[in-house]
Structure 1
Amino acid sequence: MRVLFVAQGPSHVQWQIPLAWASQLAGHEVLVATRPPYVDQVARAGLTAVAVGDEQRIAALEKQVKDDFLAAVGRRVHDEGGTDFVPTEREMLIAGGRKMIALAEGMTEDAVALTRAWHPSVIVHDTGALVGVVAAAVAGVPAFGQIWGATSDGIFDVADDHIHPYFAPLFERYGAQAPTVTPAWIDPSPPSMRAQLPVRRVDMRYTPYSGPGLVPDWLWQEQTGPRVCLTTGISVSDGTSPWGGEVQRTVVETLRERGCEVVVTVKNADHPSLRDLPSGVRVVESFPLNVLLPTCAAVVHHGGTGTGTTALALGVPQLVLAHHPMHRQWGAQVADSGAGLMVRIDEETDTAAIAASARAVVDSPGLRAKAAEVAAEMAAMPAPSEVVGILEKAAVEHSNGAPS
């Protein structure tokens, strides 16, 4: 069996590595297709990567989506007689769906050419990589979406009347038909935290993977106080979020006053937001969270589901300081589960609420107990090696004439 994995971005690649390795260890041929900047990430995981997509075209398409979004919000504000140029969460979700389609359009030509040349038996795509849906439809093979934590029906539950007209032409170009629902999800999220949606789910235990790294001596040394990880992941590193500045300073100062050992994980240790950190704060660059978090009493983050799901799997309470609607969705799920807390971050956020929540996530035995319950629930889910059997069954049924 040949299994083609498709991922559209750096954090999405990491989510697919465990199942890709399970497929390869089961004796199957595996390729991981991703955008050119991220092929090295696949190679560092010991897998074979294929670059798909034109980065210049993707950038141009994303710019068009952004321009259309700003124009639409501007018209709505004008029509309502308002002066506050603030998008609604629905408008931002629709724009997010349009952006995913723009990514797909910039990757489709290469992905379709790859499937025609390599003839995969099944395609597994992250649900942000809609190009995987197109490639599978054109090739006529089974497709499985792999979600990365926050449960939503891809673009289909956002606004079909807004999204579908932009998605369908990608299929029509190659004589295929666009689906109106996600056929099946490989879902590593805890069942107790899922929204009830009419989709077929394939449960899979979440295996934390944050890339390679070197374990330093300080990680195992006796701690001076509870260790807390502070991270904003990849998606807040562009400086457009209120994260950083006063928010970051409030968290760090509160935790240091509490006597915590604070470890800040970043993609770039030279980022300007790190210049004014208090003494005693450790900054680490591109550090594997699956190695760090087991030594931590809590993690404070922006709402990225990679960080959040890793914390859940390891039983670590989390404080989500969420600015983006998708991050707020994750934060609400965590808060509802009892395994953590959320504070919405915007220009009017009360720093006292941030400080109180930072203390609570370290000191609350209830949060830690609930986080441990969720971790046990996730540990009982089927391993990636068991999910490979489902991929095998789908490929066999398809080869015997069953519909994809």
Structure 2
Amino acid sequence: MRILFCTYSTASDLFATIPFAWALRAAGHEILYAGGGEGMREVAKAGLPYVDIATPGVDLAAPFARRAAQSREKGQLVWYRGGDLQEDEVRATSALFAELSELVVPGAVRLARQWRPDLVVSPDHQGSGAVVAGLLSVPLIAMSNLFALVPDMVDRIRGEMAGTYDRYGIDPGSSRTRLLRTTPPSLFRASGNHLAMRPVPYNGSYLELGTIPDWLLRSPDRPRVCVTLGTFIPQYIGLSLIRDFVAELDTVDADFVFVLGDADRTELGTLPDNVRSHGWIPLNTLLDSCDAIIHHGGTSTSLAAMSAGIRQIALPHGSDQPFNARLVAERGLGVTCAAAELTAKTITTVLEAPEIGTAAAQVREEIARLPSPSGVASALPDLVG
């Protein structure tokens, strides 16, 4: 089959699809990615083909940059205020992802009409996939991650895109859609006819990340904690989010590994002796040696931590992060708070709480029992026929 992946160009969304694309390619299918922006180069680095479908002159990162600017102007988190999810948070986030989807619809439609795929694969919160599948009357595999567990989120995104669907004469609810969930069963709330697949962490090309450092393969003498903010926050917000608690880390009986990419780490000042600062490290390899992770609440990072069975502290900033962070806390895998509220005491509590360790181990076992990407890929013709 010819299989077209319609996805966002953000690292978190792209990385979540690549193990499945590899499995499909190994099973003999033709794979092509449709997307735009600098992020799509990650697809090529993974050894997969893509077409840049961005409209000339359209900045696909502009919606994210605008949200980041709003955050800096307010001097606070845009969506995350703790507690229950607020209606304005859900509404703003669904509008954001609808806008991001609509930016690539014309290019996705143009490419699909030329290439004529037999199947479309898309994150279920990326609306262009439903448009393409509906236009060509082909099946759609909607990959569901943590973000899609927010009640009505996908329906809200579709509602925001109603004008686009009308323009193309598409009813997104009528397409032959199979939901492919890549989340632990105890977190999955949707019902109906869906498939399940193990989330296999992919964290970028080793051509870029380089060799695995020797110290990473040695067992640490005391608890090891990974600290990462993903790719978006360091680029658009900076590291000021975590500056305040860095000075307290020398009071915690643990070693910390900061994985901050190319960010300007001078923002953090002098680091304590128990902090090792690094650029990018393959996150799944690092987490196998860690007891906990402090992170931004990104989907791929959250699922990588669940797959590793480690404790989590989520410091969400915007986009889907507050929703992912809330799921982490509700499942008992750790805690979530604003970065300014994080203290050494909180970190110690998370490291020592037996109930958090138990919950993390349970979810790791849930994930291990899910079908592998290769298993799903081999059965796909029967599943979508």
Question: Do Structure 1 and Structure 2 share a fold, with TM-score over 0.5?
Answer: yes
Structure 2 residue 296 is matched with structure 1 residue 302: yes
Aligned to 1:333: 327
Supply the distance in 2 between the matched residues of 1:105 and 1:334 (Cα, whole angstroms).
30
| CA RMSD, Structure 1 to Structure 2 (Å) | 2.9
Letter in 1 for 2:46: A
**Structure 1 position 16, deviation (Å):** 0.4
* Distance change in 2, residues 1:6/1:286 (3 Å): farther
How far apart are the structure 2 equivalents of 1:323 and 1:375? 26
Q: Which amino acid aligns with 1:184?
A: R
TM-score, scaled relative to structure 2? 0.84
Calculate the TM-score normalised by the size of structure 1: 0.81
**TM-aligned CA deviation for residue 42 of structure 1:** 0.6
CA–CA separation in structure 1 for the residues paired with 2:268 and 2:175? 43
Match of residue 184 from structure 1: 178
**8 Å contact 2:35–2:108 — kept in the other structure?**
no
Partner deviation per Cα, 1:175-224 (whole Å, 9 max, x = no partner): 333438994321111111223x3443211011111112320112124534
Alignment partners' CA distance in 2, 1:182 and 1:364: 45
2:376 match = 387
Which of the residues 196, 199, 215 maps onto 1:203? 196
Q: What is the percentage of aligned positions where both structures have the same residue? A: 29
Measure how far apart 1:109 and its partner are. 1.5
1:50-69 matches, within 5 Å, as: 50-54=51-55, 56-58=57-59, 62=63
Distance in 1 between residues matched to 2:315 and 2:61, nearest whole Å? 31
Please tell me whether the aligned partners of residues 7 and 128 of structure 1 are also in contact (alpha carbons under 8 angstroms).
no
Whether the aligned pair in 2 keeps the contact of 1:339 and 1:371 (CA below 8 Å) is: yes
Q: Secondary structure at the match of 2:19?
A: helix
Shift of 1:142: 0.7
Who is 1:73 aligned against?
none
In the TM superposition, residue 280 of structure 1 has moved relative to its aligned partner by 4.2
Q: Which residue of 1 aligns with 2:87?
A: 90
Partner residue of 1:288 out of 282, 285, 305: 282
Taking a change above 3 Å as real, the CA distance of residues 148 and 178 of structure 1, as seen in their structure-2 partners, is: closer
The CA distance in 2 between the partners of 1:120 and 1:89, in whole Å, is 39
Check conservation: 2:118, 2:138, Cα contact below 8 A.
yes
Query: Does the CA-based 8 Å contact 2:329-2:335 persist in structure 1?
Result: yes
- SS at 2:348's partner residue? helix
Task: After TM superposition, give the deviation of residue 63 of structure 1 in Å.
Answer: 8.9
Equivalent-residue separation in structure 2 for 1:185 and 1:286 (angstroms): 32
Asked which structure has the greater CA Rg, the reply is: 1
Q: Does 1:48 align with 2:49?
A: yes
* Match of residue 362 from structure 2: 373
Unpaired runs of at least 5, structure 2: 72-84
1:255 Cα shift?
3.6
Pairwise CA distance, 1:327: 2.5
CA deviations 1:162-186 (Å, max 9, x no partner) are x62x412323333333438994321
CA positional deviation for 1:116: 0.9
